[in-house]
């Protein structure tokens, strides 16, 4: 069973899809960026009933896909050697360079391993072919190390096989100051001061996540090579084994239909977050990585008592609509991408688009 959001008008504001859809049943018309699978609007028609395993519930967002080429993911491009993530010596800023012939999608929350410290990238962008070096904001998800680890190179990063498994860390990285749990001073605050405060919250959440995962799997998950590295924790063998049953129960559900363009998940009966893409092709590429992150987050919050029932689809719809109706602010990222942040009392939306209006990525986060 699904909640259907079938079209009743031909166009709406591209910034308020779910708010309008749950009020009037309306949906978007589409426009396509030439040659690239980026839609003018997500044009989502339905949110599916959940697929559930233990304390994790997955709801699929369904709708038509944009036409055109599906970009490479960061992991694909790094494996091919066509995208380089350069270390800059600045904890909170890296450089990405696409030396290949295909566009590359980077998603907010992607972790890159290596350099002088493992980092998490904070914005979603499309890196065009032959891009040259482009600055991208980042936070450190490892403390103490500032030199090569093992055979890794200090000047660039080796891989990007994981996404940060923490709603709290995502809020710390990119939510408005008060929503991120940062002190709100009087008047404008120095940028460095705010960044430092956000970095401290990310480090604290990494440490909390390592502790909760260790309790869940019944064994230490910090790696001897770098005990503070979230990436190395995510590679832990016992953690990988604990994820197996979740992945076996849930992964195939995201691969079954061609109209899935995103998903929302709930942990312990509470909606956590959601991600929406321009096409089923890009969703399918991101699905294994994003599901693994959701599973890891669920494992870290697995209750000792009986699980709470999954929220109904109407609750998920209200979560998405509430994020869309929040107060808005916009900034330019990487010269060609606009990030609109909408912040409401219960949820936030991070809507990343090309300046043409073409969708790059939508991320929804529960506020508290």
Report the alpha-carbon distance of residue 205 to residue 211 in Å, rounded.
10
Q: What is the pLDDT of residue 183?
A: 60
Report the alpha-carbon distance of residue 341 to residue 326 in Å, rounded.
8
Q: What is the pLDDT of residue 83?
A: 98
Q: What is the pLDDT of residue 31?
A: 28
Strands in 72-73's sheet, in edge-to-edge order, are 72-73, 104-106, 125-127
Q: Token pair 């697995």 is at which residue?
A: 302
* Sequence spans of domains, the chain: 2-67+256-288+309-366, 72-182+191-242
* pLDDT-derived band at 307, boundaries 50, 70, 90: confident
The residue-averaged pLDDT of 231-248 equals 98
Whole-prediction pTM value? Answer: 0.88
The residue-averaged pLDDT of 333-348 equals 91
Q: What is the pLDDT of residue 336?
A: 80
Quote the tokens at residue 8. Answer: 């009743």
The residue-averaged pLDDT of 265-291 equals 97
User: Per-residue pLDDT tens for 152-186?
Assistant: 999 999 999 999 999 999 999 999 886 666 665 44
Q: What is the pLDDT of residue 308?
A: 86
* pLDDT greater than 60 at residue 362: yes
* Mean pLDDT rounded to a whole number for the chain: 87
């Amino acid at each position: 069973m699904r909640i259907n959001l079938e079209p009743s008008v031909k166009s709406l504001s591209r910034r308020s899809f779910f708010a309008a859809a749950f009020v009037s049943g309306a949906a978007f018309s589409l426009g396509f960026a030439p040659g690239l699978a980026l839609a003018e609007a997500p044009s989502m028609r339905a949110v599916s009933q959940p697929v559930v395993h233990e304390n994790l519930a997955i709801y699929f967002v369904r709708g038509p896909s944009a036409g055109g080429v599906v970009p490479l993911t960061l992991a694909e491009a790094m494996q091919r050697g066509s995208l380089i993530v350069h270390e800059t010596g600045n904890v909170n800023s890296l450089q990405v360079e696409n030396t290949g012939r295909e566009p590359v999608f980077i998603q907010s929350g992607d972790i890159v391993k290596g350099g002088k410290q493992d980092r998490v990238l904070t914005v979603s962008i499309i890196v065009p072919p032959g891009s040259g070096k482009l600055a991208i904001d980042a936070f450190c998800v490892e403390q103490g190390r500032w030199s090569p680890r093992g055979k890794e190179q200090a000047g660039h990063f080796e891989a990007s096989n994981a996404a940060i498994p923490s709603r709290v860390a995502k809020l710390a990285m990119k939510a408005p100051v008060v929503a991120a749990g940062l002190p709100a001073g009087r008047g404008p605050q120095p940028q460095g001061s705010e960044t430092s405060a956000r970095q401290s919250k990310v480090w604290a959440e990494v440490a909390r996540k390592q502790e909760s995962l260790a309790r869940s799997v019944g064994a230490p998950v910090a790696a001897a090579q770098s005990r503070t590295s979230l990436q190395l924790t995510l590679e832990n063998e016992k953690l990988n084994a604990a994820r197996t049953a979740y992945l076996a129960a849930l992964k195939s559900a995201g691969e079954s239909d061609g109209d899935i363009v995103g998903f929302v998940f709930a942990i312990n009966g509470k909606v956590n977050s959601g991600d929406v893409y321009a096409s089923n092709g890009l969703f399918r590429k991101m699905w294994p990585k994003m599901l693994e992150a959701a599973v890891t987050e669920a494992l870290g919050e697995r209750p000792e008592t009986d699980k709470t029932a999954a929220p109904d689809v109407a609750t998920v719809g209200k979560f998405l609509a509430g994020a869309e109706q929040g107060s808005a602010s916009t900034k330019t990222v990487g010269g060609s991408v606009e990030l609109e942040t909408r912040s409401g009392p219960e949820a936030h939306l991070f809507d990343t688009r090309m300046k043409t209006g073409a969708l790059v990525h939508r991320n929804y986060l529960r506020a508290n």
